[in-house]
Amino acid sequence: MKTRPAKNLKCRVLFILASFSILLSARAAEIPCVWSDVEKIVAVGDLHGDYENFVKILLGTGLVDEKLQWAGGDTHFVQTGDIMDRGPGAKMIFDVLRRLEKEAERAGGKVHVLIGNHEELNITGIAFDYPDYITVEQFISFLPQDYRRQKEREFLKRIRGTFTHWNEETPDAGTRDKLHEFWRGLMRTDDERQVYIDSFNDTYGKWLLEKNAVIRINDTVFVHGGISEKYSTWKLESINSLLRNELSFFKGRRKVFLRYANPFKAKIVYDANGPLWFRDLAVKDEKSINGEFERILKNLGAGHMVIAHTFYRGNGVTPVVAPRFMSRFGGRLWIIDTGISSYYGGVNSALIIEKKDFMLWGDTEADEAVFGITSPGAADGGGGSADDIEDYLRKAGVGTIVRGAQRGRTEPWTIILDDGQVVRRSIFKYVDRRRPSMLPDSYFYEIAAYELSKLLGLDIVPAVVERQIDETKGSLQAFVENAVPEAARRRNGPEPPEPLKFGEALESVRVFALLVNDTCENLEDTLVETGTWRVFRVDFSEAFGPSPELRPDCIPAFCPDELDTKLRDLDDRVIGQKLAPYLNKDEIEALIRRKGRLVRVLEDLKN
């Protein structure tokens, strides 16, 4: 009897969430995402909180007058997402866009604000997992005004002993610095983060949930990250509706904190191949995916696609506003993220489409400056045993830190290490969102995979240790130099000199992926070292799902005898002891049960 009220409350909340989802689905059908016969389009990529550069682009392209009022007539203005994070001015940008939406509509034009992955991260609260995303200024700007004033009064009492009226316009520099650190400290607490998330979602998040992720104007598709072949077969309305509904569900879960027997599994939110995160069209070799891109456009009924999210850095060069850097596939794909935010260098740009002409506005043909790593030296580190490399990763001095240079949703940092003798590149992951999170992704799973590979006598996972960089804890992993993804090797060659030995290495990777419950056919994260033909597997940050079942699509053709023996001999207690710092009880128990089933499967293969 005591549990019935809680159960009834849970049922009521679930009913409310379900009803709300149905209501959203009905409203979503009324939100248009296709327009035709538009004479002029201006598209702008990632702004990342740089209000000043945003205004320069609006003025420079003639979309607004000197009073920042709409002057674009019947022009359609597309902002492709990622207004938030990195910089301080997201709220000011939102406020201008919300006003321009109404002004443009009255003039016969249109303002299209698309959802980017950083908007998704703030709606779900995941942005706090990234240490350099939400700035103090952005954090404060989205807090309720009364709440902010209350906290500032508490701060003033603390540093001055008695209440002093806070005047935002006249604080001295020392007080401003102390206040900044005060807010930075509050940002680290769960309660204050929840206030931010709730306040943001109740105002700007609610507004964003009426926006699209992908639209088509004339024959051009606009989307933040890109459309993979999988999603190109969906209707645009279906993509947008599902994303909005899933984000609304996450938004609701933040308020009610319910845990379900069957955790909610998102289909599109935080999907690496989803429209907010997909990068392949921007980074993969054109020849290798030209046929795929042709099929994507055909499925979409489009002639062109405009994306952002990824900007050109080729060979360590900053973005340049020029067609040769911003267009691919013969001008059918345009990449309009040029690092507009001063965080990335402040390269202002816009894509202007008039009838069938694609033109660029901005710092065209600007000087090409060096970005990030320049001649790091002997980055391969000269090899060494696993223990030697671990010791190096723990103790070597930190040189250059390049944030966001690596692919992936967790945006790991590239760290240049130097111990005075050897310079080595490494990859630093810092997101720690362990289960029972709805979207598990943690650097602890990277370390667990490495420790398990050592127990099995495998050398397929590069050495990784836990370390703190710039006051941020994470996993630091040795970078595999002179290696190519197996996917690229299969496309472009060469063929391995010892096919049988190479095949055994690939099957070892498959067996290991099956054991840790990770994707086995991940040929982008399966790396082949040039010359030695050693095979490595990286990126296990979502592995170790607590299911005891073996993935049916991962069953290997065979298992090398040495690995087979190691699996049989590996004691369950040793697994538990070694991985307890990184995995929870359910994850460890599931791993042990998968190991037992895998041993039986391998025995059947022999028979």
Mean pLDDT by 10 residues, the chain (607 residues): 47 49 53 97 98 97 97 98 97 98 98 98 94 95 95 83 54 78 93 95 96 98 97 98 94 63 76 94 90 97 96 56 89 94 91 93 50 31 76 94 70 91 93 91 97 95 96 94 89 90 94 93 90 94 95 88 94 97 97 96 86
pLDDT for 593: 97
Is 552 within 8 Å of 505 (Cβ atoms)? no
Cα→Cα distances 574→228, 544, 584, Å: 42, 17, 15
pLDDT for 4: 46
pLDDT for 132: 86
**pTM (2 decimals)?**
0.82
Is 476 within 8 Å of 596 (Cβ atoms)? no
| Angle between helical axes of 51-60 and 90-106 (0-180°, round to 10) | 30
| DSSP per residue, 357-383 | EEEEEESBTPPP-B-S-----STBTT-
Burial class (CB in 10 A: 0-12, 13-18, 19+), 287: exposed
pLDDT for 30: 79
Could you tell me how far CA 373 lies from the centroid of its own chain? 22
Is 389 within 8 Å of 463 (Cβ atoms)? yes
At residue 212, the 3 state secondary structure works out as coil
Phi and psi angles of residue 123, each rounded to the nearest 5 degrees, phi first? -65, -40
| DSSP per residue, 79-129 | E-S--SSSSS-HHHHHHHHHHHHHHHHHTT-EEEE---HHHHHHHHTGGGG
pLDDT for 383: 57
pLDDT for 218: 97
pLDDT for 50: 97
In the chain, the domains with their CATH numbers are 38-127+194-362 (3.60.21.10), 135-193 (no CATH), 386-606 (1.10.510)
Is 67 within 8 Å of 101 (Cβ atoms)? no
| DSSP per residue, 262-312 | S----SSTT-TTSTTT--HHHHS-HHHHHHHHHHHHHHHT-SEEEE-S---
Residue type (1 letter), 104: A
Which residue is listed with tokens 């020029």? 322
